[in-house]
Each structure stands twice: as C-alpha cells, then as structure tokens.
Amino acid sequence: MDHYIVFVDTMDNIMYQTSWNLKQLLDSENDELISKQLKDLRKATNAFISKWEGSTEYLTNPEVLYKALIDFENWQNNYGENNVGYYFSLKSALDETDSNVKAKINQITDFETKISNDMQFFTMRIAKISKEVQKTFLESKLLSPYKHFLESLFVEAKYLLSEPEEKILNLKSQTSHSNWVKMTSEFLSKEEAIVLDEKTKKKIKKNISEISSQMNSVNKDVRKDSAKAFNKIQSKYAEIAEHEFNSILQDKKINDELRKIDRPDLARHISDDISSEVVDVMIKSVSDNFQISKDYYKLKAKLFSQKKLEYYERNVPYGEFQKEYTFENSVELVKTTFNNLDTEFSEIFNKFLEDGNIDVFPNKGKHSGAFCIHGTINQPTFVLLNHDNKLQDVLTLAHELGHGINNELIKKSQNGLNFGTPLSTAEVASTFMEDFVTDELLKSCDDGTKLSLMMMKLNDDVSTIFRQVACYKFEQELHLQFRKDGYLPKEKIGEIFSKHMKSYMGSYVKKMKGSENWWVYWSHIRSFFYVYSYASGLLISKSLQNQVKSDNSYISKVKIFMSAGTSKSPQDIFMDLGIDISKKDFWQKGIEEIQDLLLETEMLARKLKKI
C-alpha cells in the first residue's frame, strides 16, 4: 500500500509518498507485460546487431562511427538497464526474503548476461582499432560528444581478450565470484541470536543486522552482549568464508594473468577512470596521517572514562541527542540547506518526494541501511532509507539525496554514454550535501550537543577516510600474499586484517578475541579495492566545501563537476576547476581539516570539563 504525508513548510505545500512508486518502471507484474518488455529488449538488440555486427566501416570512418554511436546510445538509453530487471531488483530491496522475486532476478540476470555478451562486439572492436585511427577519431569534432567514452575504450583495449574469451569470462563470473559471495552473505543474513534488547532490556531473538546495530548502543551491557553474539557468528562462518575468499582471490588472479594486469588493484583503477598514481598518492597521504585517527580514539576513550575502547565500541556515539527528527523535520532541514546552496538542489529534492522516488521507513525484510540507485539516463533514480527519527537519519537523507542530485544534474547536461559517475568521485556529491547539513545542525546546538555532534562527525570522517584506507592496504597485502602462497587459511587472513586495523586505530582500541574474523562480514572487500573511493570522495568533497564557504558563487563550479558525468576523467574535470588531485598537497588539505576539527573538539571537551 502506498503511504502519503502532507507536509507544509514555509517554502512549499506539497504532497508526497513515503514509499516507492515502482509503476514508473512497470505498471504491473503481469507475465504477458514482463514477457513483452523482454522481447522488446531482445528485438532492439537484434536490430542493432543486424545493422552493425557485419559492418567494418564504423571502425575507420568518423561519420559512420558517429551514426553507430548514436544508435548505440539510443539502445543504451532505452534498453541498457531494462525496466523489468530494475523493477525486480528494487522489489527485492523492499523484501529480501521474497523467494519469488529472487527467482525472477536470477532469470532476468541470465537473460541480461546473454544480451550483454551479444552486444559487447561493438565496444570491443572499437577499442582494438589501430593507434593511428584512434588519433583520427579523438581529433574529430563530429565525435567530440563521445570523446572520453572512446578514450576509455582505448585505455581498456590493452587488457581485453578476444570476443569469445570475454564472453567466457562474463559467463563464468557468476559461478566463480558472485555465487560464492552470495553464499556467505546469505548464510550470515539468516543468522539469529538471543541477545539483550536495547529498548526492553530483556533477552530476545534478533537477526545479525539488528545485532550489529546494537553494538553501537549507548548501553554498555547491550553492546557487550551483542558483540559476543556477533563474534560467535563470525567465528562460525570463518571457515566457509576462507574457502569463499580463496576461490574469488584465485578467480581474480586468473583474470589478471589472462589480461596481463600487473597489479591487483589496476583493474579497479581502469574501471574507475583514475590513474594508479593518483590513488597511490591519496593512500600514502592518508596512511602517513594515521596519528589523527589514533588521537581520535584516544579522545573518545577519555570521554568514555575508559583506559581503552573495546574493539566493538569504535562507533558508539558520544552523548545523547534528545531531539527526535521525524521525516517531516528531516525534509525541512535538508531542504533548507539545499535551498541555501542552490535552489535547483531543493527543486530536485521536491520532485523526488512528489514522484515517489524515496522509500522512507523500515519494514520487515527490507534491506538495511540506505542507498541511492539509478539505471539509464531515461529511468528514474530511487533512494532507499530506513528512517527511524534519529539524528543520523537526517544526515543519511542528505547523503543519499546528494547522489540523487548528482544523477539528475548529469541527466540535464550529458548524453547517455556519459551518464554515470566514476567510483573514484561517486561519494563527492553525497558527502558534500551531508557535511553542509551537519554544519546547519551545529548552528543551533548548545555546547553539550555540539560536542556530541562534532564527535559524530569525526567518527564518520575517521571511518570513511582512515578506516577505508587501512582496509585498502589490507586488500593489497591480502592479494599479494595469496599470489605468493597460493592459499590463505582463515588465521592468516585474520592476522593480516588485524595488523591493518591496528595501524589506523592505535593502542587506545583493544584487540578483542574474535575481532580477527571481522573481515568475514565486510561485503565491500568482495568488490575488490572498492573502498578507496570513500576516502577519495570525502577528501575531494572537503576541498569543494571549503571553496564554497570562502565564496558562495563557487557553487556554480561545484555544479559543473556534478554535471560532468563521465564526459572527462575525474582528474581532468577537477583540473578544469583549478584542482590537481595528483598532488599530495591537495589530499593533505582535506586531512588537515579533520585534524583541525579534532583539535577544536578537544578544546570544547576541556572547556566542558569532560576530559
């Protein structure tokens, strides 16, 4: 059933849904309608193949390539992410226990993989043209709207195999990687334990997601009991995860060797359109400053009147936020902040609310956490929340809407082949919006609440930047060690994991027995080397925030970045704004801002005699 709220504020009188309106994608789940949509996809794909697979002229003639790219873009815009697949993936997020939806997704995924295999001839053949012809295409004014799309293909060409071999790699990816990861994830998701409940203070059965959340409880007994149960679950599945992880590490090693990729994280950098040198500079800049995160945990231990924090207490909020933020309160605060930055931001937010593109409240079986997701340039962007009237929910709303605004600005400015955001900068818009909302909250706080909020902000910065960089370095060593030894027992994985977690936490966080298994549940490390993007995104975001705070008119340049999509590499986009992300000094400025916030927080804590 759809839910509606009438929300009135000083800016708008609007009526909006608090659950997704998925009819924007599929009017009904009628089998005939679904079958027709998939047949239309197959028909459009066959038409493109029939027109271009037998042709070679587009591989030599800029005018013919331009026509072919327009056809490819039209196919991508209308069929690149089919509405049926998009619909059922969203439906699954609303109820992850629905086996019928899972079955549909598996069928559609198989269908889409075949479509993808059939279409890949086009980009592969363009990628493999001679250097001479590449230069002609890149210098063509006619092809300029697709210039960076072509540049990216030419970079990838060095590592491409033959068309039949690429098809085989696509087909085996599910059995060699995805199914292994899904197995561990589903085993964990079904786990339950009887633990102390945060609200009733009685022992009740909870699932692993609820147990994980309770480790952040302000009640010490609740978090200790939850951590004990969480450790037991991780230990139970450590051996299974050992086999899973060695299998996907082996698959990754095979793929890299076939493609002649010489470092484990290079494939990630290529797909993210960023140079390894830029990532290396960022990783070194952050790891050279791990003393900041160590000092943060030292401060937190003092505020909690403890010699050391327990491992599971790293994210426990300091202080209590008495005020509850209903969804209406959150909308008003976020919208005011957006409006102050740029009226277009709040207009996009309004449209999301009116069209039913945000699913707001927790429900049984619903995916935990939050996300923002998009398909093609012609499809709506959707945001999932689990709003529970907490302060963090306000910031989550701002964060996910940052992603959404980013998508909508790209739609207005780019063609379908430039629609998207490289992972290397995917978190810039989201953290930009989130931090400005945090600043808005700080304006109206008393000193006690301000201290709590500043500690929360520091915690997010430390987790997003320092923890993720430590994780990235863990992954680097893990892959290299696997390639040296051929197999890694769970004890060895745990040893490497613990070493890198300690490197950023320091001596004010205890190494608890069982914490060596916390890699088991960390899903991001299965999407190899994904985590660096959290750190790069937030540090770039801080640079843009500082510019806007110094000069309000700089928001126009921020919008240029948010509108750029994949029309240029991230490095070139920022260079146009006068920012050189290849220099250590750039990253150091963002890191120093965290250092300044830590010093300011320590001073406030002393003023309030909390330490």
pLDDT at residue 224, as a whole number = 95
Q: What is the DSSP letter of 191?
A: -
Q: What is the CATH number of domain 327-450+535-589?
A: 1.10.1370.40
Q: What tokens were used for 83?
A: 């509405």
Contact at 8 Å (CB) between 504 and 171? no
Mean pLDDT calculated for residue range 198-220: 91
Q: Helices 290-303 and 490-505 meet at what angle, rounded to 10? A: 80
* Cα–Cα distance, 66 to 47 (Å, whole number): 18
Give the torsion through C-alpha atoms of 196, 200, 202, 204, to 10 deg. Answer: -70
pLDDT digits over 524-546, tens only?
999 999 999 999 999 999 989 99
Q: What one-letter code names the amino acid at 581?
A: I
**At residue 6, does pLDDT exceed 70?**
no
- Is residue 362 classed as helix, strand or coil in its secondary structure? coil
pLDDT digits over 454-469, tens only?
999 999 999 999 999 9
pLDDT at residue 374, as a whole number = 95
Contact at 8 Å (CB) between 563 and 412? yes
pLDDT digits over 122-169, tens only?
999 999 999 999 999 999 999 999 999 999 999 999 998 988 898 899
Mean pLDDT calculated for residue range 235-254: 97
Instruction: Band the pLDDT of 13: cuts 50, 70, 90.
Output: low
Give the Å distances, CA to CA, from 250 to 159, 267, 414, 474, 519: 18, 15, 39, 17, 18
- Domain ranges (residues) in the chain: 22-158, 182-261, 327-450+535-589
CB proximity list for 93: less than 8 A, separation 6 or greater: 366, 367, 371, 384
pLDDT digits over 395-438, tens only?
999 999 999 999 999 999 999 999 999 888 999 999 999 999 99
pLDDT digits over 367-383, tens only?
888 999 999 999 999 99
**At residue 340, does pLDDT exceed 90?**
yes
Beta bridge partners of 206: 193
pTM equals: 0.87
**At residue 603, does pLDDT exceed 70?**
yes
Instruction: Band the pLDDT of 213: cuts 50, 70, 90.
Output: confident
95-110: buried (b, 16+ CB within 10 Å) or exposed (e) per residue? eeeeeebeebbeebee
Contact at 8 Å (CB) between 37 and 111? no
Determine which of 27-31, 149-153, 278-282 has the lowest per-residue pLDDT on average. 27-31
pLDDT at residue 579, as a whole number = 87
* Cα–Cα distance, 95 to 391 (Å, whole number): 25
- The residue written with tokens 């299998």 in the block is 247
pLDDT at residue 8, as a whole number = 46
Pairing of strands 192-196, 203-207: antiparallel
pLDDT digits over 291-326, tens only?
999 999 999 999 999 999 999 999 999 987 778 899
The candidate with the shortest Cα–Cα distance to 212, out of 183, 188, 236, is 188
Give the Å distances, CA to CA, from 32 to 28, 37, 39, 344, 347: 10, 9, 10, 40, 37
Element (H, E) at 4: strand 4-8
Instruction: Band the pLDDT of 56: cuts 50, 70, 90.
Output: very high
Structure-model confidence comparison of residues 117 and 244, the more confident one: 244
Mean pLDDT calculated for residue range 89-118: 91
The candidate with the shortest Cα–Cα distance to 3, out of 13, 15, 23, 17, is 17
Instruction: Band the pLDDT of 12: cuts 50, 70, 90.
Output: low
In terms of C-beta distances under 8 Å and separation of at least 24 residues, what long-range contacts does 155-163 make, across chains too?
155/270, 156/127, 156/270, 157/127, 157/128, 159/259, 159/260, 159/261, 159/267, 159/270, 160/124, 160/127, 160/128, 160/259, 161/258, 161/259, 163/120, 163/121, 163/124
Which fold, 22-158? Butyryl-CoA Dehydrogenase, subunit A; domain 3 (1.20.140)
Instruction: Band the pLDDT of 9: cuts 50, 70, 90.
Output: very low
